[in-house]
């Protein structure tokens, strides 16, 4: 693995190895308050951000510190990727100084070009197409709860034409997980994405998708850049809200996941995200440990 641009860059064995590594790193922090070794001492990470962030910035920056390295945050106005100068030139300059690059950008093409022209590893920290780090943290959380990544059913409700569910679908194909998606008309997974995840089942009825699921997943209905569509989205997506009644149709031990930020009363009720089946905040914390595992895989 030279870079991580897509969840499909990984095999099933690589995903499982990353999960094992992340769980070990998490245990070391919980039990000892830090890591015995600092394998990234004198290593630097350049963090390119086109979009605002809470979890992505915190997890990568704190993760580098915990491993002995240093992270440099580059805000949207700092470099204006692809506008102030070409992505080619930006990649050449940054990779001549930093040891690794993470990029949270609008266009997947930009992160692909960064990796193409960079001499150091590049990690996709979110694009319009994929969010592999988020989904790896999801898989880590699922493994912690069930002790396995096989024989499980995942259900996703809401807007299925989005980066997180696309990465989940690819991961389900790689790991042979059952995945059922329920979305209203006009919000289904794009045909090109469906071709890459042919095993996924698609419904317009959320109850059918959730039936027997071990993991119920949703995401914000109004992503950054789609605020003008908010009223129309809320109207069409409200029947796909995750409620306690809907969770009752899942497996009795089912967990609820949400990549956050969450909007209570919209994509899920307060009772669900703050209830006993919710693992959303453990999922958020796991971004830190999983991303450390990814960075270590790329740099050591």
State the catalytic residues.
104, 131, 134, 219, 259, 287
End-to-end alpha carbon distance in the chain = 11
Hey, how many other C-beta atoms are within 10 angstroms of the C-beta on 137? Answer: 29
Instruction: Return d(Cα 229, Cα 227) in angstroms, integer.
Output: 5
Instruction: Return d(Cα 240, Cα 166) in angstroms, integer.
Output: 18
Instruction: Return d(Cα 88, Cα 113) in angstroms, integer.
Output: 7
Q: Kindly give, in sequence order, each residue whose CB lies less than 8 Å from that of residue 92, ignoring residues fewer than 6 positions away.
A: 117, 118, 119
42 cis-preceded (ω within 30 degrees of 0): no
Helices 12-32, 280-299: crossing angle, 10 deg rounding = 110
Q: How many CA atoms lie within 13 A of 177 on its CB side?
A: 26
SS3 108: helix
The dihedral through the CA atoms of 185, 189, 195, 199 has a sign that is: negative
Q: Where on the phi/psi map is residue 82: left (φ > 0), alpha (ψ -120 to 50), or beta?
A: left
Phi, psi of 105 (to 5 degrees): -130, 165
Instruction: Return d(Cα 90, Cα 84) in angstroms, integer.
Output: 9
Strand (E) or helix (H) holding 217: strand 215-218
Strand (E) or helix (H) holding 203: strand 201-203
């Amino acid at each position: 693995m030279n870079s991580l641009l897509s969840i499909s860059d990984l095999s099933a064995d690589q995903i499982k190895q990353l999960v094992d590594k992340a769980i070990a790193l998490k245990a070391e922090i919980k039990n000892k308050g830090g890591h015995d070794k600092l394998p990234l001492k004198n290593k630097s990470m350049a963090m390119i951000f086109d979009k605002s962030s809470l979890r992505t910035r915190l997890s990568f920056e704190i993760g580098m510190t915990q491993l002995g390295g240093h992270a440099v945050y580059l805000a949207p106005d700092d470099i204006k990727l692809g506008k102030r100068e070409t992505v080619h030139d930006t990649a050449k300059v940054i990779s001549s100084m930093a040891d690794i690059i993470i990029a949270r950008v609008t266009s997947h093409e930009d992160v692909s070009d960064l990796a193409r022209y960079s001499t150091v590893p590049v990690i996709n920290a979110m694009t319009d197409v994929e969010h592999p780090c988020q989904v790896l943290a999801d898989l880590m959380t699922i493994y912690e709860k069930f002790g396995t990544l096989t024989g499980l059913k995942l259900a996703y409700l809401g807007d299925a034409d989005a980066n997180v569910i696309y990465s989940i679908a690819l991961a389900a194909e790689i790991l042979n997980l059952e995945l059922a998606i329920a979305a209203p008309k006009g919000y289904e997974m794009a045909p090109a994405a469906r071709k890459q995840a042919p095993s996924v089942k698609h419904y317009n009825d959320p109850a059918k998708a959730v039936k027997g699921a071990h993991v119920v997943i949703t995401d914000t209905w109004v992503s950054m850049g789609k605020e003008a569509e908010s009223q129309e989205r809320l109207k069409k997506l409200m029947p796909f809200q995750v409620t306690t009644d809907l969770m009752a149709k899942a497996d009795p031990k089912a967990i609820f996941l949400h990549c956050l930020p969450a909007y209570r009363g919209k994509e899920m009720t307060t009772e669900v995200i703050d209830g006993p089946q919710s693992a959303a905040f453990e999922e958020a914390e796991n971004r830190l440990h999983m991303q450390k595992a990814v960075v270590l895989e790329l740099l050591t």
